[in-house]
Amino acid sequence: MSLGVGETAKLSPKISPDNGCKTVMWRTSNSKIVTVDKNGNIKAVSNGTAWVTVNTLNGREASCKITVKNAPSKVTLTKGILTIGVGEKYSVNSGVNNGAAAAKRTYRTSNSSIVKMTRTDWQGDFVGVKPGVAYVTVRTYNGKESTCKVTVKAAPTSVTISKKNMTMKVGQTATLSCSVPSNAGCATRTFRSSNNNIVKMTKTNWTGSFKAMKPGTAYVTVRTYNGKESSCKITVVK
């Protein structure tokens, strides 16, 4: 586990077989780096590495390596602006500055009637509820925050791939994109090939990148989160 200076966490022992053993003893290899109490509550004190160990009365033990880094001076979300559709599920992660750590990160929404959180620890999972704008914010244990503006639009009624027909030579690569109606949102778009032996996908999210493998015909299809599809016929020649 990596923690930032001043961060707290709780460790819980898993005893096998579960024979009702309730009494365990905790210790730290270096209390100047990590402290631990009788209930497994730990606190990061200063930079460095220490081991927190739990023992049963009959001598069984397990340890957790704790690396303590600086408290974060900033946190950054993987997305700053995002447009999704009603009913679409999405996840955002976050990172802290180099040399820092923050195991505890909590996510919240500014308006759950527009964007509803489904997971709020470590990563933020949410779903678009109805059209509008809401903000998803991550917060570290020491109060550093970052926000993503989420615009929710109607679910797409259709999707259009950028080309309907293509002819390629063996070994060539290409990319297809797609669009949805202007009043719709769709952050999750997946591309697939009907035959990877002829056309092999190399990227399948947002845009579809692929390579012509051998002569023949295959279809590259894009699919939205709510099942709308559009296809391009790829003819591969020598």
Spatial separation of the C-alpha atoms in residues 142 and 106, rounded to whole Å: 11
Contact 69, 47 (CB under 8 A): yes
pLDDT, tens digit, for every residue of 37-62?
999 999 999 999 999 999 998 888 99
pLDDT, tens digit, for every residue of 12-30?
988 887 766 678 999 999 9
Can 2-69 and 160-237 be said to share one CATH topology? Answer: yes
Spatial separation of the C-alpha atoms in residues 137 and 130, rounded to whole Å: 19
* CA-CA-CA-CA torsion sign (11, 75, 205, 185): positive
The pLDDT, as a whole number, for residue 206 is 87
Largest Cα–Cα distance of the chain, in whole Å? 73
Per-domain boundaries in the chain: 2-69, 75-153, 160-237
Protein fold of 75-153 = Immunoglobulin-like (2.60.40)
Among left, alpha and beta (phi > 0; psi -120 to 50; other), residue 227 is left
**Arithmetic mean of pLDDT over the chain:** 96
pLDDT, tens digit, for every residue of 135-179?
999 999 999 999 999 999 999 999 999 999 999 999 999 999 999
Other beta carbons within 10 Å of 28 = 18
Instruction: Please tell me the CATH code under which domain 160-237 is placed.
Output: 2.60.40.1080
CATH of 2-69, one of 2.10.60.10, 2.60.40.1080, 1.10.10.10, 3.10.620.30: 2.60.40.1080
